[in-house]
Chains A and B, each alone.
Chain A
Amino acid sequence: MVTVQENDFDLVRRFLAGEEVAFNMIVKKYQKKIYWHARQMTGGHLDADEVTQEVLIVIFNKLKNFNFNSSLYTWIYKIVTTRSLNQIRRKQVKRFFSIDDKEEFDLPGKQDIVTELDAKEKIEKVRKVLEKVPPKQRQIFIMRNFEDLSYEEISEITGKSVGGLKANYFHALKKVLELTNEKE
Chain B
Amino acid sequence: MKKNSERIIEYLSGKLNEDEKKFFENELNTSVGLKKEFDDLNSKLLELSSVREIKTNETYFSNLIPRVYQKLETEKKLWSFKKVYYLIPTATAVIVLFLFSLNSNNDYNLGYHELASQVVNNISDQEVSEKYSAELESDPGDYFMADNSGELNVQLPADIDLKNDAYTRLVGNPLANEYSTLQNLSDDELEIVYEKLNSTTSQKVQK
Contacts and interface: CB of A to CB of B under 8 A. Distances in A.
Given A27-B65, A146-B49, A173 B13 contact: yes
A94 B13 CA distance: 34
Contacts of B12: 173
A145 B48 contact: yes
B50 A122 contact: yes
A4 interface: no
Contacts of A174: 6, 9
A31 B64 contact: yes
Interface in B29-59: 41, 44-45, 48-52, 54-57
Main secondary structure on A side of the interface with B: helix
A167 B45 contact: no
Contact of A151 (B6, B14, B51, B61): B14
A82 interface: no
B107 interface: no
Interface residues of B, number: 29
Contact of B13 (A35, A122, A169): A169
A53 B66 CA distance: 11
A32 B61 contact: yes
A116 B53 CA distance: 12
Interface string A35-48: 11000100000000
Interface string B60-79: 11001101100110010000
B67 A119 contact: no
A167 B13 CA distance: 8
B153 to A, nearest CB: 68
B49 A170 contact: no
Nearest to B41: A177
Given A170-B9, A170-B10, A170-B15, A114 B54 contact: yes
Interface in B149-180: none
B13 A57 contact: no
A57 B41 contact: no
25 contacts: A27-B68, A35-B61, A36-B52, A56-B68, A113-B61, A114-B55, A114-B56, A114-B57, A116-B55, A119-B56, A122-B50, A123-B54, A126-B51, A145-B45, A151-B14, A166-B13, A166-B15, A169-B13, A169-B14, A170-B9, A170-B10, A173-B12, A177-B5, A177-B45, A180-B48
Interface of B: 5-6, 9-10, 12-15, 41, 44-45, 48-52, 54-57, 60-61, 64-65, 67-68, 71-72, 75
Interface of A: 24, 27-28, 31-32, 35-36, 40, 49, 52-53, 56-57, 60, 113-116, 119, 122-123, 125-126, 129, 145-146, 151, 166-167, 169-170, 173-174, 176-177, 180
